Homo-oligomer: A and B are copies of this chain.
Amino acid sequence: MRPTVYIKDLKNYTGKEVTLKGWLYNKRSSGKIKFLILRDGTGYTQCVVVKGNVSEETFENADKITQESSFEITGTVKEEPRAVSGYEIDTKSLSIISLANEYPITPKEHGVEFLIDHRHLWIRSRRQVAILKIRHRIVKAIRDFFDERGFTLFDPPIITPNACEGTSTLFEMDYFDLGKAYLTQSGQLYGESGAMAFGKIYTFGPTFRAEKSKTRRHLTEFWMVEPEMAFYDLDDNMDLAEEFLEYIVQTVLKDRAEELKELQRDTSKLEKVKRPFPRISYDEAVEILKKKGVDFQWGNDLGGTDETLISEEFDKPVMVHRYPAEVKAFYMKRDPANPKLALAVDILAPEGYGEIIGGSQREDDLNLLLSRIKEHNLPQDFFEWYLDLRRYGSVPHSGFGLGLERTVSWICGLEHLREAIPFPRMIYRNTP
């Protein structure tokens, strides 16, 4: 019973009779003619029902069918440049599969809370379909990029035993007789063990932060891709990240032009995302802020507003490297030229979308790593396995993490991350 023809393939059926199945997106009447817009998940097409040309039953069905009702339609495919898909269906017969109740989401404006309450229906709208199709294409671009470059996929565990950087932003649970366990915040440490086995790996899965942030840039559950490469230093890491971002953006521009148009995205901004990206040191970033009149203290981390002010100076993603070690994680390697600095890099998206990549070269010296763990008051026994990576064939290595929803948000030009994932989870929302 599955459909044999989908809307996206109508061009192959001009002049032929086809049967389509789907849902009513929209309807208008003009006397004895009904224009029904059918959606089937692959596209939208107009079905023309003319009284007299069809049975009474079919015309009645076309008259009574409601928004989002499911139906089956048989008719002839005609080229029609003015219609939504470039084709329309000259209807022969129409049967209703299930007549929908009054659909809650109407063309009028709805509040955001109402829409998220109805997320399971909201995803049927043209805008949400466009966003989630772009999300899919981004995921595929990410995987293709690494697969084509000899990286091995390395799925890290979601349930983790260690409260790596404090428990305040962790989701905690009981794990049988083994005490507390936590949802992962990052697969990186595990990814490092993979890099020592496979040379180059990437992890790609959901990660969790129980942060009490209510901003439009925060989800409690989000997907992150984290490549990790043996024998890569900070410069190699930045080269890879730059190539990676260019690849993602240019692939979406090429393959999802229709969806970007649906979102009215200014694609000229995305077209500029080509290598090389500007690379500035933290010191230079501080200079930019000072020139702009910000009272910024060297040694602090860059805040959201600071990031926006810096990225405004560029029309491409900007790579900010070599941060004060104090504001960065314990596992980052210090700059041999200045041990106060960590060999870290953050990449700030243009148009105020903030940090989309964070990465670093990792500390590969056993004793230095041990002393960092002590300085940070971290429980050494939890990290013994991680320290083993420095005991047995340590090598210089680097990696970075890219947040999927932030990337979707930036490429689609969204105002809030909640539209970048099918069912968003936020501090105040875990339904539907």
Q: Which residues of chain A have a CB within 8 Å of any CB of chain B?
A: 1-3, 6, 8, 21-24, 40-42, 68-70, 97-98, 100-101, 103, 118-121, 123-124, 128-129, 132-133, 135-136, 139-140, 143, 147, 150, 152-161, 171-178, 181, 183, 190, 193-200, 205-206, 208, 210, 212, 220-221, 223, 229-233, 236, 364, 385-386, 388-396, 421-423, 425, 427-432
Pick the residue among B157, B236, B425 that contacts A422 (CB under 8 A).
B157
Closest to A7 in B: B199
Q: Please measure, in the bound complex, the distance between the C-alpha atom of A156 and the C-alpha atom of B120, giving whole angstroms.
A: 11
Cβ distance A359 to chain B, nearest Cβ, rounded Å: 14
A41 with B231: CB separation less than 8 A: no
- The A contact surface, by secondary structure, is mixed
B430 with A178: CB separation less than 8 A: yes
Indicate whether A193 sits within 8 Å of B70 (C-beta atoms), given known contacts A153-B139, A175-B430: no
Copies in the complex: 2
A181 / chain B contacts, CB cutoff of 8 Å = 430
Closest to A179 in B: B430
A423 with B206: CB separation less than 8 A: no
Cβ distance A68 to chain B, nearest Cβ, rounded Å: 4
A221 with B395: CB separation less than 8 A: no
B388 with A120: CB separation less than 8 A: yes
Cβ distance A104 to chain B, nearest Cβ, rounded Å: 8
B1 with A200: CB separation less than 8 A: no
Indicate whether A392 sits within 8 Å of B121 (C-beta atoms), given known contacts A140-B147, A143-B140, A422-B194: yes
Q: Please measure, in the bound complex, the distance between the C-alpha atom of A431 and the C-alpha atom of B73, giving whole angstroms.
A: 56
Pick the residue among B21, B119, B150, B178 that contacts A42 (CB under 8 A).
B150
Closest to A23 in B: B393
Q: Please measure, in the bound complex, the distance between the C-alpha atom of A157 and the C-alpha atom of B405, giving whole angstroms.
A: 13
Indicate whether A220 sits within 8 Å of B100 (C-beta atoms), given known contacts A120-B193, A178-B430, A422-B194: no
Pick the residue among B3, B183, B430 that contacts A161 (CB under 8 A).
B430
11 residue pairs from A and B, CB less than 8 Å apart: A1-B232, A23-B393, A68-B393, A97-B394, A139-B153, A156-B422, A158-B158, A159-B171, A159-B220, A176-B210, A385-B432
Pick the residue among B6, B68, B158, B229 that contacts A221 (CB under 8 A).
B158
Cβ distance A297 to chain B, nearest Cβ, rounded Å: 33
B6 with A150: CB separation less than 8 A: yes
A21 / chain B contacts, CB cutoff of 8 Å = 230-231, 395
Indicate whether A98 sits within 8 Å of B1 (C-beta atoms), given known contacts A135-B153, A156-B422, A199-B41: no
Q: Please measure, in the bound complex, the distance between the C-alpha atom of A40 and the C-alpha atom of B152, giving whole angstroms.
A: 12
- Most chain B CB within 10 A, of A6, A133, A230, A429, is at A230
Q: Please measure, in the bound complex, the distance between the C-alpha atom of A41 and the C-alpha atom of B393, giving whole angstroms.
A: 13
Closest to A96 in B: B393
Indicate whether A98 sits within 8 Å of B155 (C-beta atoms), given known contacts A150-B6, A161-B431, A389-B120: no
Q: Which 10 A-B pairs have the closest CB atoms?
A: A41-B199, A385-B432, A120-B193, A41-B198, A70-B393, A98-B394, A136-B153, A157-B423, A124-B197, A2-B236
Closest to A117 in B: B385
Q: Please measure, in the bound complex, the distance between the C-alpha atom of A235 and the C-alpha atom of B386, giving whole angstroms.
A: 50
Indicate whether A394 sits within 8 Å of B70 (C-beta atoms), given known contacts A173-B171, A199-B41: yes
A156 with B394: CB separation less than 8 A: no
Pick the residue among B121, B147, B423, B427 that contacts A176 (CB under 8 A).
B427
A199 with B40: CB separation less than 8 A: yes
Q: Please measure, in the bound complex, the distance between the C-alpha atom of A172 and the C-alpha atom of B200, giving whole angstroms.
A: 35
A173 / chain B contacts, CB cutoff of 8 Å = 171-173, 183
Cβ distance A343 to chain B, nearest Cβ, rounded Å: 13
